[in-house]
Amino acid sequence: MSGANLTRVEAEDRKSIIAGPVSYHVDLDLTQGPKNFPSVCEITFDASVGASSFVDLIADEVSDIELNGEKLDPAKYYADNRVELPVLKERNTLRVVASCQYSTTGEGLHRSVDPSDGNVYLYSQFEVPDARRVYAVFDQPDIKAVFDFTVTAPKSWLVTSNMPVKSTEELETLTAEGTLETHPAESTKRWVFETTPTMSSYLTAICAGPYAEWHTEYANEDGRTVTMAQYCRQSLKDDFAKDVDYLFDITKKGFAFYAKTWGVPYPYVKYDQIYVPEYNAGAMENIGMVTIRDSYVFGSKVTDALAERRVVTVLHELAHMWFGDLVTMKWWNDLWLNESFAEFMSTLATAEATEWKDSWATFTSGEKSWALNQDQLPTTHPITAPINDLHDTEVNFDGITYAKGGSVLRQLVAYVGRDEFFKGINAYLNKHKYDNATLNDLLVELEAASGRDLKTWSKQWLERSGINTISAGVEENADGTIKSLVLTQSAPADHPVLRTHRMAVGFYNRDAATGQVVRTDRIELDVDGETTMVSDAAGKKRPDFILLNDDDLTYAKLRFDDKSLEFAADHLFEFDDALARAVIWLAFWDMTRDAEFPAERFIDLSLKMLSTEHESTTFRYALNCLKETVTRYVAPVRRESVDKHVAEELWNLANEAEVGSDEQFQLITAYLGYGVEGDAPFASNVRGLLSGLLKLKGLEIDNNMRWSLIKALAGVAQMDDDAIEAELKLRDTTENREFAYGARAAVPTAEAKAWAWEASIRDLALTNSQLEAAALGFSSNLTGKLAEPYIAKYYDTVDWIWENRTFHMAETLLECLYPIYADPAELVSAGDEWLESHKNAARALRNIVIGNVDSSRRALKVSTYNANLE
């Protein structure tokens, strides 16, 4: 439906008509349910006299529209998700009464029922433009307004919004039947919230339910006291209580770090963080009330990588309070101004203000690797991507906008200088606070602060797609000193731009006494054009290893000189610096994906590294890439034996790892992904761990590990539906229902795969999290004859999914149900045929399909390369 979309031209036209001050009064009745809730919205605004416009609204029914005291017939004026506004006056008042629908897909106002206790939890998620699913609104970022929210809900609930509660009133009315599921009807209460500051609609928020709560205060740098709160479901409160003080402390460190770094104190009156179920993202930066997925409430053991990621997420959303909320992009093409900056700043804050000092190694392994992958797809785009409509925005929450943007900002800091960079940020925030801004507005302030001409830099880095490769060439003198060190920069043919890089070259040598490889010299320089001579290297003794992009200051693919390559392949595990190891390992992974480094040699290199690596995200990512190499890049005739070898090595490493360590936990978890039907030793090990007959000292079989073991057994046909259902009945929770869906879908039978396929696509009762679990379980071990039918089924179903599911659900289905382990040649052929017949399909849809097909095309190319090495 065209009205569910909004083009940039339409937004510009509407902005030219609608003027401030704009104000909203939104009244929501959340005592109703379980499907719909009443929404009443009154908007006052200025406009061009005599012009016509519209407000956005996605509702099941609109019962009343009143514009400037005149009734408008909803049958005539509400259509295609828009309320038409004819013949506007200089000052206007619009009132719209609607029945809106609760969501189970994480969009709009999500409604979740916790099976542990029957409690109902509501929370909003309005980015990109989903405030319109809850109230009538000019849903675009540059029509900022002030908002007054009034909410009626069951008396026992807690209701929160962007601002503190101004007043409450107990009512005599009862909640509607069915609202509280297993609970009886109860009396109701009305919450009235203070007026918000001027803000964009997508940043408004409402959460309601019987959340558990914790409170504290922060002495803000401007002398004000900022109230702080954290919330979660009642069933999680005991687990969350263990971490609340730590998370408050992390948040306070973030307040102090950002205020000091930018010279702008936290601008709002309160700061709540509410951990919510079935979230379809990591978190959302609603002003004064951040929503965060409650998988970050740890009831079972998690990796250190995930524990660190929670800290980064908390600091990422806090950074948005300034960058994105106080100053907001004018249109979605500058989404990177929000996300790239928050990504960069949250990593900087984590590294400098918390105990996670190796956070830049985490960024390299976890985030930059994501960017490198997406930047080499045919669907790559500039960081400042052209956004013609909302559908374009939907595919831009990706590794380019977040991770490449964050990496490029780190390059910009190195290029202009840290002090100058943050001086420019201070001017930008103060000049545009409570308003909208563009890329040019930012560059103006950074140029003024640094004296650098950033227009050329912006054209190279922000406005052009693709990634450069920097390679080293070394000539030696007879005495072992360096005659010349030359850096060569290249670019792909389809994105032929050479960039200016501020980067460092590190010299590393193996210390004979300790056996460690340590940095012994470092040269920082500008790399510009096709060739750059590292003049400061001439005459120096050639080190064991020359690291391009030491300290990971720039964003590029790396190719080492031959001697350095061989040294690193043999000694990577001995490098003493976590960031250096991450940079080098990522280069080897990139070479493996590019069919320039043998897959089995990469596997051996990675297994050796895993024996000594302690940086958790690098460890996690190495395990993920190891799995992809084994299952997709190794020569097909060697795959079964290599798979068995890697599984055995992971099991041995887990048994040799430090008792109770993060490495032990990750190794066992990875091992569970290597089971194949008929592998008796694997099944015996997993059954032994599950029953307790086999013990790995230090490994706790807690709830989540238990379900990992169950899914592993299901994946090798050693656990059927009845057994899985019996396990669920032992502890029926939101999380365990998701685990159960994933386990059922993993059973390697035609019947189980057919059930998972149909349930994922057509069962509208599944929440977004249950759907994702089923879809991932379906594809996790879909190989051989099991996979064959789903190549054609996938492409026969693509159009139906796109037309009948919301974007978030369609994206999840189209990515997770792709039969990735089927024959890559057949997948490429079928995908190319679909793309040829769907040239006019939505850009977002084509991008998803193109990404899947390119993944199979790469797998075919790399596995063929490795087969030819035999």
Same domain? 48 vs 181: yes
Residue 6 placed within a domain: yes
Please tell me the predicted confidence (pLDDT) of residue 2.
41
Mean pLDDT of 788-812: 94
Is residue 199 within 8 A of residue 147, CB to CB? The reply is yes
* CATH assignment at residue 362: 1.10.390.10
Tell me the CA end-to-end span of the chain in Å, nearest whole number: 54
The pair of structure tokens assigned to 80 is 């295609």
Position 214, amino acid: W
Please tell me the predicted confidence (pLDDT) of residue 263.
97
Residue 3 placed within a domain: yes
Rg (CA), the chain: 28
Give the model confidence (pLDDT) of 499-552 as tens digits. Answer: 999 999 999 999 999 999 999 999 999 999 999 999 999 999 999 999 999 999
Same domain? 337 vs 196: no
The pair of structure tokens assigned to 643 is 């798979």
* Position 404 pLDDT exceeds 60: yes
Same domain? 198 vs 331: no
Q: Which stretch of DSSP H or E encloses residue 327?
A: strand 327-329
Whole-prediction pTM = 0.96
Same domain? 198 vs 333: no
Give the model confidence (pLDDT) of 279-338 as tens digits. Answer: 988 999 999 999 999 999 999 999 999 999 999 999 999 999 999 999 999 999 888 888
Is residue 724 within 8 A of residue 756, CB to CB? The reply is no
Query: What is the residue-wise DSSP string for 560-585?
Result: --HHHHHHHHHHGGGBS-HHHHHHHH
**What gap in Å lies between CA 661 and CA 87, rounded to an integer?**
68
Exactly one of 285, 317, 339, 738 is catalytic; which is it?
317
Mean pLDDT of 359-372: 95
Is residue 742 within 8 A of residue 709, CB to CB? The reply is no
**What gap in Å lies between CA 298 and CA 32, rounded to an integer?**
32
Residue 337 placed within a domain: yes
Please tell me the predicted confidence (pLDDT) of residue 180.
52
Residue 396 placed within a domain: yes
Chosen domain end from 180, 202, 224:
202
Mean pLDDT of 640-668: 97
Give the model confidence (pLDDT) of 592-613 as tens digits. Answer: 999 999 999 999 999 999 999 9
Position 463, amino acid: E
Instruction: Look over the chain and give the mean of its residue pLDDT values, rounded to a whole number.
Output: 95
Domain with 178 in it: 1-202
| Residue 447 a catalytic site member | no
Residue 804 placed within a domain: no
**What gap in Å lies between CA 479 and CA 190, rounded to an integer?**
84
**What gap in Å lies between CA 821 and CA 859, rounded to an integer?**
10
Among candidates 37, 30, 57, which has minimal Cα distance to 151? Answer: 30
Give the model confidence (pLDDT) of 723-782 as tens digits. Answer: 999 999 999 999 999 999 999 999 999 999 999 999 999 999 999 999 999 999 999 999
Residue 486 placed within a domain: no
Residue 545 CB contacts under 8 Å (≥ 6 apart), including other chains: 507, 508, 509, 517, 560, 564, 567, 568, 571
Chosen domain end from 182, 202, 222:
202
Phi, psi at 194, each rounded to 5°: -65, 155
Residue 550 placed within a domain: no
Sign of the four-CA dihedral 858, 773, 134, 149: negative
Mean pLDDT of 541-567: 98
Higher pLDDT, 5 or 244: 244
Same domain? 169 vs 30: yes
Give the model confidence (pLDDT) of 170-184 as tens digits. Answer: 998 877 755 555 456
* CATH assignment at residue 174: 2.60.40.1730
Please tell me the predicted confidence (pLDDT) of residue 808.
87
DSSP 481: B
Position 537, amino acid: A
Is residue 619 within 8 A of residue 846, CB to CB? The reply is no
Domain count, the chain: 2
Residue 22 placed within a domain: yes
Chosen domain end from 461, 478, 494:
461
